Protein backbone atom coordinates (compact mmCIF):
# COMPACT_ATOMS: atom_id res chain seq x y z
CA UNK A 1 0.00 0.00 0.00
CA UNK A 2 1.08 3.57 -0.70
CA UNK A 3 0.68 6.57 1.59
CA UNK A 4 0.37 9.84 -0.36
CA UNK A 5 0.78 13.13 1.52
CA UNK A 6 -0.06 16.58 0.14
CA UNK A 7 1.19 19.32 2.49
CA UNK A 8 -0.52 22.64 1.79
CA UNK A 9 -0.57 25.97 3.56
CA UNK A 10 -4.09 25.47 4.93
CA UNK A 11 -4.63 21.71 4.88
CA UNK A 12 -2.67 18.48 4.77
CA UNK A 13 -4.35 15.75 2.73
CA UNK A 14 -3.44 12.11 3.28
CA UNK A 15 -4.51 9.22 1.09
CA UNK A 16 -3.88 5.48 1.09
CA UNK A 17 -3.77 3.56 -2.19
CA UNK A 18 -4.13 -0.17 -2.57
CA UNK A 19 -2.70 -0.60 -6.05
CA UNK A 20 -4.43 2.03 -8.22
CA UNK A 21 -7.41 2.37 -5.87
CA UNK A 22 -7.73 5.15 -3.30
CA UNK A 23 -9.18 3.36 -0.26
CA UNK A 24 -9.06 6.15 2.35
CA UNK A 25 -8.32 9.86 2.52
CA UNK A 26 -8.31 12.56 5.19
CA UNK A 27 -7.98 16.36 5.27
CA UNK A 28 -6.63 18.05 8.41
CA UNK A 29 -5.56 21.60 9.18
CA UNK A 30 -1.88 22.45 8.69
CA UNK A 31 -0.30 23.08 12.09
CA UNK A 32 3.29 24.33 12.21
CA UNK A 33 3.42 23.70 15.97
CA UNK A 34 2.90 19.94 15.71
CA UNK A 35 5.90 17.66 15.97
CA UNK A 36 6.72 14.58 13.91
CA UNK A 37 5.47 12.40 16.74
CA UNK A 38 2.16 14.28 17.01
CA UNK A 39 1.46 14.00 13.29
CA UNK A 40 2.42 10.32 13.37
CA UNK A 41 0.04 9.59 16.26
CA UNK A 42 -2.77 11.37 14.43
CA UNK A 43 -2.13 9.42 11.23
CA UNK A 44 -1.88 6.10 13.04
CA UNK A 45 -5.23 6.79 14.72
CA UNK A 46 -6.83 7.59 11.36
CA UNK A 47 -5.45 4.40 9.85
CA UNK A 48 -6.81 2.44 12.80
CA UNK A 49 -10.31 3.90 12.31
CA UNK A 50 -10.25 2.71 8.68
CA UNK A 51 -8.88 -0.70 9.76
CA UNK A 52 -5.68 -0.21 7.75
CA UNK A 53 -2.63 -1.83 9.29
CA UNK A 54 0.34 0.55 9.21
CA UNK A 55 2.73 -2.34 8.53
CA UNK A 56 0.99 -2.86 5.19
CA UNK A 57 2.28 0.52 3.97
CA UNK A 58 5.36 -0.08 1.84
CA UNK A 59 5.77 3.30 0.15
CA UNK A 60 5.36 7.00 0.92
CA UNK A 61 5.32 9.96 -1.45
CA UNK A 62 4.86 13.54 -0.37
CA UNK A 63 4.37 16.91 -1.98
CA UNK A 64 4.97 20.02 0.11
CA UNK A 65 4.61 23.75 -0.43
CA UNK A 66 5.47 24.36 3.24
CA UNK A 67 9.28 23.96 3.45
CA UNK A 68 9.52 23.83 7.28
CA UNK A 69 7.18 20.81 7.35
CA UNK A 70 8.90 18.84 4.59
CA UNK A 71 11.70 17.30 6.70
CA UNK A 72 9.21 16.59 9.49
CA UNK A 73 7.11 14.37 7.21
CA UNK A 74 10.18 12.80 5.63
CA UNK A 75 11.23 11.80 9.14
CA UNK A 76 7.70 10.50 9.83
CA UNK A 77 7.87 8.19 6.82
CA UNK A 78 11.24 6.80 7.74
CA UNK A 79 10.80 6.54 11.52
CA UNK A 80 7.23 5.32 11.84
CA UNK A 81 6.61 3.45 8.58
CA UNK A 82 10.14 2.40 7.57
CA UNK A 83 9.09 3.02 3.97
CA UNK A 84 10.84 3.99 0.79
CA UNK A 85 10.03 7.67 0.61
CA UNK A 86 9.87 9.99 -2.40
CA UNK A 87 9.54 13.77 -2.19
CA UNK A 88 8.15 15.46 -5.29
CA UNK A 89 10.60 17.63 -7.23
CA UNK A 90 11.03 18.90 -10.79
CA UNK A 91 13.83 16.35 -11.27
CA UNK A 92 11.23 13.55 -11.25
CA UNK A 93 10.00 11.83 -14.36
CA UNK A 94 6.58 13.38 -14.98
CA UNK A 95 6.04 12.91 -18.71
CA UNK A 96 5.87 16.70 -19.01
CA UNK A 97 8.25 19.33 -20.32
CA UNK A 98 8.59 22.23 -17.88
CA UNK A 99 8.80 25.43 -19.93
CA UNK A 100 9.73 27.66 -16.98
CA UNK A 101 13.06 29.50 -17.32
CA UNK A 102 13.69 28.33 -13.74
CA UNK A 103 11.74 25.07 -13.24
CA UNK A 104 12.53 25.07 -9.51
CA UNK A 105 10.07 27.95 -9.08
CA UNK A 106 7.20 25.61 -9.96
CA UNK A 107 5.28 24.54 -6.86
CA UNK A 108 5.20 20.80 -6.29
CA UNK A 109 1.41 20.83 -5.95
CA UNK A 110 1.05 22.34 -9.42
CA UNK A 111 3.49 19.80 -10.83
CA UNK A 112 1.55 16.91 -9.28
CA UNK A 113 -1.79 18.20 -10.57
CA UNK A 114 -0.40 18.75 -14.05
CA UNK A 115 1.04 15.23 -14.18
CA UNK A 116 -2.23 13.62 -13.14
CA UNK A 117 -4.40 15.75 -15.41
CA UNK A 118 -2.24 15.37 -18.53
CA UNK A 119 -1.98 11.60 -18.18
CA UNK A 120 -5.75 11.36 -17.67
CA UNK A 121 -7.06 13.89 -20.21
CA UNK A 122 -4.20 14.81 -22.53
CA UNK A 123 -3.90 18.41 -23.68
CA UNK A 124 -4.34 21.25 -24.24
CA UNK A 125 -5.49 21.59 -20.69
CA UNK A 126 -6.13 24.20 -18.00
CA UNK A 127 -6.20 23.20 -14.32
CA UNK A 128 -7.80 25.47 -11.74
CA UNK A 129 -6.86 24.59 -8.17
CA UNK A 130 -9.00 26.23 -5.49
CA UNK A 131 -6.78 26.10 -2.43
CA UNK A 132 -5.15 28.66 -0.16
CA UNK A 133 -4.32 30.37 -3.46
CA UNK A 134 -6.34 29.90 -6.64
CA UNK A 135 -3.87 28.67 -9.25
CA UNK A 136 -4.16 28.17 -13.00
CA UNK A 137 -1.91 25.81 -14.98
CA UNK A 138 -1.69 25.70 -18.77
CA UNK A 139 -0.46 22.55 -20.54
CA UNK A 140 -0.13 22.10 -24.29
CA UNK A 141 -1.24 19.14 -26.39
CA UNK A 142 2.42 18.05 -26.50
CA UNK A 143 2.71 18.00 -22.71
CA UNK A 144 4.59 21.26 -22.21
CA UNK A 145 3.81 22.94 -18.88
CA UNK A 146 3.79 26.61 -19.91
CA UNK A 147 2.93 28.30 -16.62
CA UNK A 148 -0.25 29.95 -15.48
CA UNK A 149 -1.60 32.41 -12.94
CA UNK A 150 -1.93 32.72 -9.18
CA UNK A 151 -4.69 34.65 -7.42
CA UNK A 152 -5.57 34.99 -3.73
CA UNK A 153 -7.73 32.10 -2.57
CA UNK A 154 -11.36 32.50 -1.63
CA UNK A 155 -10.76 32.13 2.10
CA UNK A 156 -7.86 34.61 1.99
CA UNK A 157 -10.15 37.16 0.33
CA UNK A 158 -12.93 36.56 2.85
CA UNK A 159 -10.49 36.85 5.75
CA UNK A 160 -9.05 40.07 4.35
CA UNK A 161 -12.51 41.66 4.27
CA UNK A 162 -13.02 40.71 7.91
CA UNK A 163 -9.56 41.73 9.16
CA UNK A 164 -9.07 44.91 7.14
CA UNK A 165 -12.49 46.49 7.68
CA UNK A 166 -14.16 47.73 10.84
CA UNK A 167 -17.69 46.43 10.31
CA UNK A 168 -17.62 43.47 7.91
CA UNK A 169 -18.06 40.12 9.70
CA UNK A 170 -16.65 36.65 9.19
CA UNK A 171 -18.99 34.77 6.88
CA UNK A 172 -19.75 31.25 5.74
CA UNK A 173 -18.66 30.61 2.16
CA UNK A 174 -21.94 29.48 0.64
CA UNK A 175 -23.80 30.47 -2.52
CA UNK A 176 -26.13 33.43 -1.97
CA UNK A 177 -29.60 33.51 -3.47
CA UNK A 178 -28.79 36.38 -5.82
CA UNK A 179 -26.03 38.73 -6.92
CA UNK A 180 -27.91 41.62 -5.30
CA UNK A 181 -27.37 41.04 -1.61
CA UNK A 182 -29.91 42.58 0.74
CA UNK A 183 -27.79 42.40 3.87
CA UNK A 184 -24.08 42.52 4.65
CA UNK A 185 -23.52 38.77 4.73
CA UNK A 186 -25.31 37.99 1.45
CA UNK A 187 -23.58 40.97 -0.21
CA UNK A 188 -20.18 39.63 0.81
CA UNK A 189 -21.11 36.13 -0.33
CA UNK A 190 -22.21 37.48 -3.71
CA UNK A 191 -18.98 39.40 -4.18
CA UNK A 192 -16.85 36.44 -3.22
CA UNK A 193 -18.67 33.51 -4.84
CA UNK A 194 -19.89 35.17 -8.05
CA UNK A 195 -16.86 37.45 -8.23
CA UNK A 196 -14.45 34.52 -8.11
CA UNK A 197 -16.46 32.68 -10.76
CA UNK A 198 -15.96 35.71 -12.99
CA UNK A 199 -12.26 35.79 -12.17
CA UNK A 200 -11.92 32.13 -13.19
CA UNK A 201 -13.84 32.48 -16.44
CA UNK A 202 -11.90 35.58 -17.50
CA UNK A 203 -8.48 34.10 -16.77
CA UNK A 204 -9.45 30.90 -18.61
CA UNK A 205 -10.61 33.00 -21.57
CA UNK A 206 -7.33 34.91 -21.69
CA UNK A 207 -5.19 31.76 -21.36
CA UNK A 208 -7.12 30.08 -24.18
CA UNK A 209 -6.76 33.22 -26.29
CA UNK A 210 -2.99 33.18 -25.79
CA UNK A 211 -2.85 29.47 -26.62
CA UNK A 212 -4.96 30.08 -29.70
CA UNK A 213 -7.39 27.24 -29.03
CA UNK A 214 -10.02 25.90 -26.64
CA UNK A 215 -8.79 23.75 -23.78
CA UNK A 216 -10.29 21.15 -21.50
CA UNK A 217 -10.72 22.94 -18.16
CA UNK A 218 -10.86 21.02 -14.90
CA UNK A 219 -10.99 22.09 -11.27
CA UNK A 220 -9.63 20.63 -8.06
CA UNK A 221 -8.91 21.74 -4.52
CA UNK A 222 -10.89 22.01 -1.33
CA UNK A 223 -13.02 24.96 -2.49
CA UNK A 224 -13.74 23.66 -6.01
CA UNK A 225 -17.21 22.40 -5.08
CA UNK A 226 -18.22 25.94 -4.07
CA UNK A 227 -16.99 27.92 -7.08
CA UNK A 228 -16.89 25.45 -9.99
CA UNK A 229 -20.71 25.21 -10.37
CA UNK A 230 -20.81 28.99 -10.92
CA UNK A 231 -18.16 28.94 -13.67
CA UNK A 232 -19.07 28.60 -17.35
CA UNK A 233 -15.59 27.42 -18.31
CA UNK A 234 -15.02 24.47 -15.96
CA UNK A 235 -16.01 21.12 -17.48
CA UNK A 236 -15.12 18.72 -14.68
CA UNK A 237 -14.23 18.71 -10.98
CA UNK A 238 -11.59 16.21 -9.81
CA UNK A 239 -11.50 16.28 -5.99
CA UNK A 240 -8.67 13.73 -5.68
CA UNK A 241 -6.50 15.00 -8.52
CA UNK A 242 -3.47 15.71 -6.31
CA UNK A 243 -3.59 12.34 -4.54
CA UNK A 244 -4.00 10.57 -7.89
CA UNK A 245 -1.01 12.52 -9.21
CA UNK A 246 1.10 11.50 -6.24
CA UNK A 247 0.26 7.84 -6.78
CA UNK A 248 1.12 8.17 -10.47
CA UNK A 249 4.44 9.89 -9.75
CA UNK A 250 5.35 7.17 -7.27
CA UNK A 251 4.67 4.50 -9.89
CA UNK A 252 6.77 6.40 -12.44
CA UNK A 253 9.70 7.10 -10.09
CA UNK A 254 9.71 4.34 -7.49
CA UNK A 255 13.30 3.45 -6.55
CA UNK A 256 12.97 -0.30 -7.11
Which residues have a catalytic role annotated?
A: 109
In angstroms, the CA 66 to CA 145 distance is 22
Q: Across the strands, what pairs with 129?
A: 135, 220
Phi, psi of 172 (to 5 degrees): -85, 135
In angstroms, the CA 25 to CA 50 distance is 10
What Cα–Cα distance (Å) separates residue 219 from each residue in 13, 72, 144, 210, 253? 17, 29, 19, 20, 26
Alpha carbons within 13 angstroms on the beta-carbon side of residue 207 total 27
Q: Which residues contact 5 (CB under 8 A, 6 or more apart)?
A: 12, 13, 14, 60, 61, 62, 63, 64, 73, 246
In angstroms, the CA 25 to CA 15 distance is 4
Phi, psi of 239 (to 5 degrees): -65, -25
CA 215 to chain centre: 20
CB atoms near residue 53 (< 10 Å)? 9
Specify whether the CB–CB gap between 106 and 145 falls below 8 A.
Answer: yes
CB atoms near residue 146 (< 10 Å)? 16
In angstroms, the CA 157 to CA 148 distance is 20
Amino acid sequence: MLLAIDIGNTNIVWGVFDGDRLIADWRIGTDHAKTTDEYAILLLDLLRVEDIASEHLNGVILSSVVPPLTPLFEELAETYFHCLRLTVSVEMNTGLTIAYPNPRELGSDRLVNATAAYHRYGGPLIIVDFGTATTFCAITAEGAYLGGAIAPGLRIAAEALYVKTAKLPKIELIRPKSAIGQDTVSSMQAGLIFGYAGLVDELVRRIQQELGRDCFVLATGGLAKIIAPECRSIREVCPHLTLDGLALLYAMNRPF
